Chain A
Amino acid sequence: MYRYDEFDERFVRERVAQFRDQVARRLSGSLTEDEFKPLRLKNGVYLQLHAYMLRIAVPYGTLSSRQMRQLALIGERYDRGYGHFTTRTNLQFNWPKLRDIPDILDLLADVEMHAIQTSGNCIRNVTADHFAGVARDEIEDPRPTAELIRQWSSLHPEFDYLPRKFKIAVTGAAHDRAVIKAHDIGLRILRHPQTGDIGYEVIVGGGLGRTPMIGKVVRDFLPKADLLAYLEAIMRVYNLEGRRDNKYKARVKILVHEIGTEEFSRRVEEEFARLDGPSVNADPAEVARIAAYFAAPSYETLPAGDHGFETAKAASPAFARWVETNVTDHRQPGYAALTISLKPIGAPPGDATSEQMRVVADLADAYSLSEIRVTHAQNLVLPHVKLSDLFAVWQRLGEAELATANAGLITDIIACPGLDYCALATARSIPIAQAIARRFADPVRQKEIGVLNIKISGCINACGHHHVGHIGILGLEKRGIESYQITLGGDATENAAIGEILGPGLAAEDVPDAIERIVGVYLAQREADESFIETTRRIGLAPFKAAFQGASRQDSSEVSHAVA
Chain B
Amino acid sequence: MAAAKRPALPVILLANDLLDGDVVFATGPVDGLHWSRDPGAALVGGDEATAERLEAFAAAELGRQQVVDAYLVDVAVEDGVPVPRHYRERMKTTGPSIRRDLGKQAELPLAEAFTNPAFLRA
Chain B residues whose CB sits within 8 angstroms of the CB of A52 once the complex forms: 20-21
Say whether A505 faces chain B, with CB atoms less than 8 Å apart. Answer: no
**Are B102 and A80 in contact, with the CB atoms below 8 A?**
yes
Q: Which residue of B lies closest to A417 (CB)?
A: B96
| Interface hit among B26-34, B44-52, B84-92 | B84-92
Q: Given A33-B62, A348-B98, do A49 and B92 touch, yes or no (CB 8 Å)?
A: yes
Say whether B19 faces chain A, with CB atoms less than 8 Å apart. Answer: yes
Q: How far is the CA of A276 from the CA of B72 in the complex (A)?
A: 55
User: Using an 8 Å CB-CB cutoff, how does the interface string of B53-78 with A read, 1 for contact, 0 for none?
Assistant: 00000000010110011000000000
Say whether B5 faces chain A, with CB atoms less than 8 Å apart. Answer: no
Say whether A297 faces chain B, with CB atoms less than 8 Å apart. Answer: no
Q: How far is the CB of B120 from chain A (nearest CB, A)?
A: 7
User: Using an 8 Å CB-CB cutoff, how does the interface string of A505-516 with B read, 1 for contact, 0 for none?
Assistant: 000100000000
Chain A residues whose CB sits within 8 angstroms of the CB of B65 once the complex forms: 26, 29, 32-33
Q: How far is the CA of A33 from the CA of B98 in the complex (A)?
A: 30
| Interface hit among A91-99, A235-243, A436-444 | A91-99
**Are B88 and A419 in contact, with the CB atoms below 8 A?**
yes
Q: Given A49-B91, A419-B88, A420-B99, do A27 and B120 touch, yes or no (CB 8 Å)?
A: no
Q: How far is the CA of A508 from the CA of B121 in the complex (A)?
A: 10
User: Using an 8 Å CB-CB cutoff, how does the interface string of B1-37 with A read, 1 for contact, 0 for none?
Assistant: 0000000000000001011111100000000000000
Say whether B117 faces chain A, with CB atoms less than 8 Å apart. Answer: yes
Chain A residues whose CB sits within 8 angstroms of the CB of B86 once the complex forms: 480
* A413-437 residues at the B interface, CB under 8 angstroms: 419-421, 425, 428, 430-431, 434
Q: How far is the CB of A431 from chain B (nearest CB, A)?
A: 6
Q: Which residue of A lies closest to B95 (CB)?
A: A50
Chain A residues whose CB sits within 8 angstroms of the CB of B85 once the complex forms: 480
Partner of B20, one of A32, A51, A421, A481: A51
Chain B residues whose CB sits within 8 angstroms of the CB of A26 once the complex forms: 18, 65
Q: How far is the CB of A41 from chain B (nearest CB, A)?
A: 13
**Are A50 and B20 in contact, with the CB atoms below 8 A?**
no
Partner of B18, one of A27, A49, A95, A420: A27
Chain B residues whose CB sits within 8 angstroms of the CB of A563 once the complex forms: 121
User: Using an 8 Å CB-CB cutoff, how does the interface string of A479-494 with B read, 1 for contact, 0 for none?
Assistant: 0111000000000000
Q: Given A29-B65, A50-B95, do A482 and B117 touch, yes or no (CB 8 Å)?
A: no
User: Using an 8 Å CB-CB cutoff, how does the interface string of B101-122 with A read, 1 for contact, 0 for none?
Assistant: 0110000000000000110110
* A455-510 residues at the B interface, CB under 8 angstroms: 480-482, 508
Partner of B97, one of A47, A80, A431: A431
Q: Which residue of A lies closest to B117 (CB)?
A: A564
**Are A481 and B68 in contact, with the CB atoms below 8 A?**
no
Chain A residues whose CB sits within 8 angstroms of the CB of B91 once the complex forms: 49, 419-420, 428
Q: Which residue of A lies closest to B97 (CB)?
A: A420
Q: How far is the CB of B39 from chain A (nearest CB, A)?
A: 12
Q: Which residue of B lies closest to A434 (CB)?
A: B98
**Are B121 and A564 in contact, with the CB atoms below 8 A?**
yes
Q: Which residue of B lies closest to A29 (CB)?
A: B65
Chain B residues whose CB sits within 8 angstroms of the CB of A48 once the complex forms: 21
Q: How far is the CB of B101 from chain A (nearest CB, A)?
A: 9
Chain B residues whose CB sits within 8 angstroms of the CB of A95 once the complex forms: 21, 102
* A58-109 residues at the B interface, CB under 8 angstroms: 80, 95, 97-99
Q: How far is the CB of A413 from chain B (nearest CB, A)?
A: 14
Chain A residues whose CB sits within 8 angstroms of the CB of B121 once the complex forms: 481, 508, 563-564
Q: A29-B64, A420-B91, A428-B97 are in contact. List 13 more A-B contacts (CB 8 A).
A: A47-B68, A49-B23, A49-B88, A50-B95, A50-B103, A95-B102, A97-B19, A97-B20, A98-B20, A98-B21, A421-B96, A425-B88, A564-B121
Ranked nearest first, the 3 interchain pairs of A and B with the lowest CB-CB distance are A51-B21, A29-B65, A420-B96
Task: List residues of chain B with CB under 8 Å of any chain A CB.
Answer: 16, 18-23, 62, 64-65, 68-69, 85-88, 91-92, 95-99, 102-103, 117-118, 120-121
14 interchain pairs (CB within 8 A)? A29-B64, A47-B21, A50-B21, A50-B102, A51-B16, A51-B22, A80-B102, A98-B19, A98-B21, A419-B91, A420-B91, A431-B97, A434-B98, A480-B87
